[in-house]
Amino acid sequence: GESVGLHLPTLSVQEGDNSIINCAYSNSASDYFIWYKQESGKGPQFIIDIRSNMDKRQGQRVTVLLNKTVKHLSLQIAATQPGDSAVYFCAESWAGTALIFGKGTTLSVSS
Amino acid sequence: SAVISQKPSRDICQRGTSLTIQCQVDSQVTMMFWYRQQPGQSLTLIATANQGSEATYESGFVIDKFPISRPNLTFSTLTVSNMSPEDSSIYLCSAWDSPGDTQYFGPGTRLTVL
């Protein structure tokens, strides 16, 4: 079946650094992608999304990049803070179907 | 954005019993979904809860084990039947206003089966 995978299971950064979390997807028909943040004991929290007709989208301190040629998605967090420590999931969807999730990357920010 | 609540937030249950989890959305939504998140893992889609008709289950999930109801556009329930310790997971309700729109999640129900 189709799946979304992540390159790195853990990422450790210093406070103030920029973080980059990567994601590879396998379904070339996917047209919608989301990044979620999940803190311990909580449900996934929406961070940012992007549609397949775009290659970059910016939010507050976050940027999502989409490379359809190599089926790669990344989340960039600027000036990472301790409060950014969490598990980050990418998820994909196509033709309005339910989201399919990747394995998750744990981001650990030390001060 | 839709605000989603779930009840109970957590429960500890005995093997062989059943638990029904409730999901309430603060606005009418087109689509509702149920996911399972096993310890230390990602989210796996269980089923799409269809209003007024039977839920659509993903491979590996069956109605006898996970019966789902969706009586209206704001509410759904998931029952975990005849539980075993392998069912210990977080169960998450999700919804979106329209297909391809942002999909929001509830806080999850943490289930432990002894």
Q: Which residues of chain A make contact with B43, given a CB cutoff of 8 A?
A: 44, 89, 91, 101
pLDDT of residue A2: 39
pLDDT band at A8 (very low <50, low <70, confident <90, very high): low
Cβ A74 vs Cβ A35: under 8 Å: no
Q: Does pLDDT of B59 surpass 90?
A: yes
Q: Does pLDDT of A11 surpass 80?
A: yes
Interface A:B, Cβ pairs < 8 A:
56
Give the mean pLDDT of chain A: 91
Which of B33, B41, B108 lies nearest to residue A43, judging by beta carbons?
A: B108
* Local structure of residue B50 (DSSP, 8 states): P
CB contact under 8 A, A45 and B105: yes
Cβ B61 vs Cβ B44: under 8 Å: no
pLDDT band at A6 (very low <50, low <70, confident <90, very high): very low
Cβ A87 vs Cβ A10: under 8 Å: no
Q: Is the dihedral of CA B31, B94, A88, A25 positive or negative?
A: negative
pLDDT of residue B101: 74
Chain A residue at shortest CA distance from B110: A41
Q: Which residues of chain A make contact with B41, given a CB cutoff of 8 A?
A: 103-104
Taking only the tens place, the pLDDT of each residue in B3-25 is 999 999 999 999 999 999 999 99
